[in-house]
Structure 1
Amino acid sequence: MNVLVTSISKKIPMLKSIKIALNKFEPTGRLFGGDIDQQVVGKYFVDEFWEMPQLPNLRIDDLLHYCKTNNIGAIIPTRDGELEYFSKNKGDLKKNGISVMVSDLDAILTTLDKLTFYKSGSLIGFPVIETALSVNDLDAYSIVIKERFGAGARNILLNKTREVAKLEAKQLNDPIFQPFIEGKEYSVDLYISKQSKVIGSIVRRRQVVQHGESQVTFTVPNNALEKMCSNFVTDLGLFGHIVLQVIIDHQNQFNIVECNCRFGGASTLSLSAGMDSFYWFLLEASGKELSEITFTPNKEGMKLIRYPEDLLII
């Protein structure tokens, strides 16, 4: 079985991690990487590169033909903007023996819409940060403004007064408003099986954050946070590798910021700390259950620093 990773861009650490998992699962398996940009550097870190058409132009029949021709049995989407496409089509892909590491459509749409995410999470009793369409609906002086749909870090405006928030929101397409909460930022990586069971989870402290992604992050023990996040993702009906962003405020209260239904930029730290998400997914893609998997996290603190690196080809 070969594996296709889409939107590979420059996600080199992730591609290396998937290759390790594939070699562990099936040493003869080949890693295919897809992207709409023929010049992406990720193409040098896969066995085969596919210059994909943009998703609105990619018919499911063409995707099936490519996968069958290249013996691809598993697909790993890596970008928020493609999750809905693959979720809509994962049924047809599954009928043809191709598994996709993506949650069901209802869950994907819930997490991509920040207002719906707040309403749904709050309704089932979880501390999702309050979200409103108007700043007048918030009882807070300091305000965060974000785009309602898509990645949370895009066009984010932090710690604004109510008056400034009203003005600067005009820069956004579909603005939503949240209270600005001071505290420490955490990422929680989780893998949820097809049987809706959390197989493993790791808490990471986000020490240095740039453009919404951790540049320096380290593992920390927090059983209460892991338990809350595990309950949350299973109640939402999610599947695969999931990343929750949480702020722990000065009162030591949890505040769920957002949920990314894909592998995160710094999630390779969690793999090193014991989570084997890509291998677990390949096992499930081959029809195996994970009931016998024993998750043993690294108890020692680990730190990840993300930095550019050169590749020399002779």
Structure 2
Amino acid sequence: MVREVVRINVLVTSISKKVPLLQAVRRAMKKMGMSGILIGADRNGNCIGKYFVDEFWPMPSLEHFTVEEFISICRKKQIRFIIPTRDGELPFFSAYRQVFQENGIVVMVSEQHAVDICLDKLRFYEVLSAHGFPVVPTALSLEELNDGDYVVKERYGAGARTIGLCLTKEKAHRHAQKLEAPVFQPFIPGIEMSIDLYMTRAGKAKGAVARKRDYVINGESQITTTIRNEKLEDLCIGVATYLGLYGHAVMQVIIDHEGQFHLIECNPRFGGASTVSLEAGLDSFYWFLLESQGVNLDDYPFNRSLKEKRQIRYPADFVIDL
């Protein structure tokens, strides 16, 4: 009797045009010696990413699924690992993280309470400031903040495309009327930083890489340069540890002209420009796959690159035969 070969497949959701991310996951699978395939999902059936995966799943929005239905599809597709890449789907996967685990599917997502805090900018400020972390003050009205210039953004999830920066009080009021649930922050001039880190299942930091956001378009770094700043990395590791994050996360911080840190937000997922931190030694996808198969990461040290890395993100052509 011929036995059916069971593959161990990896699902990446909301792949959009995240080609470097997909390539990084594929490299991690190859490094693991995995025989499974890379499956990409997106509700846009014409997304760019579909050409860079082994199988494309035109997945409807998660609101159309019960967790049982989603797990049933994963079983049919022999999916054992899931990597969510969009803020909007993190609540679903975090809420059912344990249910997936009980069904033999591991999701790279933090627990629900941590995700909820990170996706609510007001709560993020309230929780972390109460613990003494240097978080940028966040309020529901301008009257709660000191005079100066302001930042206006959506309270929930990622809203970089709709953010208003360095606005007067009058302009801030006007900008807020365009948003669904606006929050206000003081505008703090300085250097924009992102800090990528990986937190293990045991709640310990495996490594962190700080990088300067040299050139930003629509909230994403098009040019970013890694730097060494242990104090900044330690701060972000402290925040991630306090929140109980798991897997890859990205902190956003402003370093003001006096060298003080101002924590803006945390994205509890892999970021758009986080692939440069992989090049610097933060092997997040490989570590995730190792941990998911019960491997102790103590035997896999974080080897930080001796040279700093600069990443330039640019459009490229990919031609296929029809």
| TM-score using structure 1 length | 0.98
**Is the Cα–Cα contact under 8 Å of residues 199 and 293 in structure 1 kept in the other structure?**
no
State how far apart, in whole Å, the 2-side matches of 1:75 and 1:100 are: 5
Question: Which residue pairs with 2:229 in the alignment?
Answer: 222
Find the partner of 1:285 among 289, 292, 304.
Answer: 292
Q: CA deviation at 1:152?
A: 3.8
Question: Which residue pairs with 1:92 in the alignment?
Answer: 99
Deviates more, 1:293-302 or 1:245-254: 293-302
State how far apart, in whole Å, the 2-side matches of 1:140 and 1:194 are: 43
Runs of 4+ in 1 over 2 A off after TM superposition: none
State how far apart, in whole Å, the 1-side matches of 2:296 and 2:76 are: 27
* Paired amino acid for 1:84: P
Question: Which residue pairs with 2:314 in the alignment?
Answer: 307
Question: Which residue pairs with 1:16 in the alignment?
Answer: 23
Question: Which residue pairs with 2:270 in the alignment?
Answer: 263
**Is the Cα–Cα contact under 8 Å of residues 73 and 285 in structure 1 kept in the other structure?**
no
Q: Deviations over 1:192-220 (max 9, x none)?
A: 00000100110110000000000000111
Find the partner of 1:205 among 212, 216, 220.
Answer: 212
> Map of 1:17-36 to 2, 5 A cutoff?
17-36=24-43
**Is the Cα–Cα contact under 8 Å of residues 152 and 258 in structure 1 kept in the other structure?**
no
State how far apart, in whole Å, the 2-side matches of 1:53 and 1:162 are: 41
Q: CA deviation at 1:128?
A: 0.9
Q: Deviations over 1:259-293 (max 9, x none)?
A: 00110111000001111100100011112221222
> Map of 1:81-230 to 2, 5 A cutoff?
81-230=88-237
State how far apart, in whole Å, the 1-side matches of 2:175 and 2:230 are: 39
RMSD value, Cα = 0.9
State how far apart, in whole Å, the 1-side matches of 2:174 and 2:288 are: 45
Find the partner of 2:282 among 275, 282, 292.
Answer: 275
Matched, 1:57 2:57: no
Q: Deviations over 1:212-249 (max 9, x none)?
A: 00000011110110111111101111010000010000
Q: Deviations over 1:133-192 (max 9, x none)?
A: 010000131011111111041311111112221232111111110000000001000000
Secondary structure at 1:154 match in 2:
helix
| TM-score using structure 2 length | 0.96
**Is the Cα–Cα contact under 8 Å of residues 245 and 257 in structure 1 kept in the other structure?**
yes
Q: CA deviation at 1:56?
A: 0.5
Secondary structure at 1:287 match in 2:
coil
State how far apart, in whole Å, the 2-side matches of 1:154 and 1:307 are: 19
Q: Deviations over 1:287-311 (max 9, x none)?
A: 2221222111012121000001111
State how far apart, in whole Å, the 2-side matches of 1:293 and 1:273 are: 15
Structure 2 unaligned blocks of 5 or more:
1-7
State how far apart, in whole Å, the 2-side matches of 1:168 and 1:223 are: 37
Structure 1 unaligned blocks of 5 or more:
none
Question: Which residue pairs with 2:3 in the alignment?
Answer: none
* Paired amino acid for 1:157: G
Secondary structure at 1:171 match in 2:
coil
State how far apart, in whole Å, the 2-side matches of 1:62 and 1:140 are: 52
Question: Which residue pairs with 1:243 in the alignment?
Answer: 250
* Paired amino acid for 2:167: K
State how far apart, in whole Å, the 1-side matches of 2:83 and 2:174 are: 40
